[in-house]
Amino acid sequence: MLDYHNSISVNNNEIVARVIFPPQMIRDGHITPAAFVLRPSINEEYLSVLRVSFPSFNKDIKTIIYGRKRSFYGYAIMKVDEINSLTLTENEYVVSCNTKIVDNQHYQSHAGIFILINGEPITGAMSFENLPCGATQKHLLLAIRFCLTEIADRGLIEF
């Protein structure tokens, strides 16, 4: 597992790009909340993004486009300060995001959007057994996914 607390944050002035793959991540030309799911099957810790201002960004995007056996729709550019300022409160829970540099052997511009509950990163395989009455894991995660979708949809670039 990645040591979230000792990872370096991406500068709030930066822009990151989330690669969009059809059909789940796009519908009728708009990004869906499925583009921001932490996958339980791999216990995903963060949502992968690329840093647009990083020198290897163009090379990294092309590697993703041509190196995968699945179709590619485009990517969504997102301002890091918008991502990092997301905060949702549900009873005593605070759900937020933080964008950090994540070392990746394949893409030098790689970073990750971490979803936090009460300041602690969650993973796709976590279960929430001590949530307040009526709140569910799906509810909390869906709310933050809708916020990320709204930000991303404004910066959608078809390829």
φ, ψ (nearest 5 deg) of residue 33? -60, -20
Q: How far apart are CA 54 and CA 46, in angstroms?
A: 19
Q: How far apart are CA 95 and CA 24, in angstroms?
A: 24
Helix then strand then coil, in percent of the chain rounded to 5, is 30, 30, 40
Fill in the DSSP letter of residue 70: S
Mean pLDDT by 10 residues, the chain (159 residues): 92 97 95 92 94 96 83 95 93 89 93 93 73 60 90 95
pLDDT of amino acid 18: 97
Fill in the DSSP letter of residue 91: T
Residue 85 makes CB contacts below 8 A (sequence gap 6+) with: none
pLDDT of amino acid 59: 95
Q: How far apart are CA 21 and CA 5, in angstroms?
A: 30
Q: How far apart are CA 113 and CA 99, in angstroms?
A: 4
**Closest among 112, 109, 13 to 62, alpha carbons compared:** 109
pLDDT of amino acid 29: 94
Quote the tokens at residue 17: 């790009």
For the chain, which residues make up each domain, given as ranges? 4-158
Query: What separation in angstroms does the CA of 147 have from each of 19, 62, 74, 82, 141?
Result: 17, 27, 19, 10, 10
| Per-residue pLDDT tens over the stretch 62-94 | 898 887 777 889 999 999 999 999 998 877 778
- Model's pTM, two decimal places? 0.92
Q: How far apart are CA 87 and CA 21, in angstroms?
A: 27
pLDDT of amino acid 155: 97
